[in-house]
Amino acid sequence: MTRGYSIPELMLVFAVVGILLGIAVPRFFRVMDYIAVEAAATEVIAAHQRARMMAIVRGQVLTLDIDSTQLRIALPGGVIPLWLQDGPVTSGVRLSGPTRRFTFSPTGITLGLSNSSLLLSRGPSTRTVVFSRLGRVRVLR
Phi, psi (deg, nearest 5) at residue 118: -115, 130
pTM for the model stands at: 0.84
Please say if the pLDDT value at position 66 is more than 70.
Answer: yes
Are the beta carbons of 75 and 83 closer than 8 angstroms? no
- What totals of helices (H) and strands (E) does the chain contain, helices first? 1, 8
Instruction: Note the pLDDT tens digit of each residue in 75-132.
Output: 998 889 999 999 999 999 999 988 899 999 999 898 876 678 999 999 999 999 999 8
Q: Where are the domains of the chain?
A: 7-140
Q: Which CATH superfamily is domain 7-140 in?
A: minor pseudopilin epsh domain (3.55.40.10)
For the chain, what percent of residues have pLDDT higher than 90? 65
Q: Give the largest CA-CA distance in the chain.
A: 86
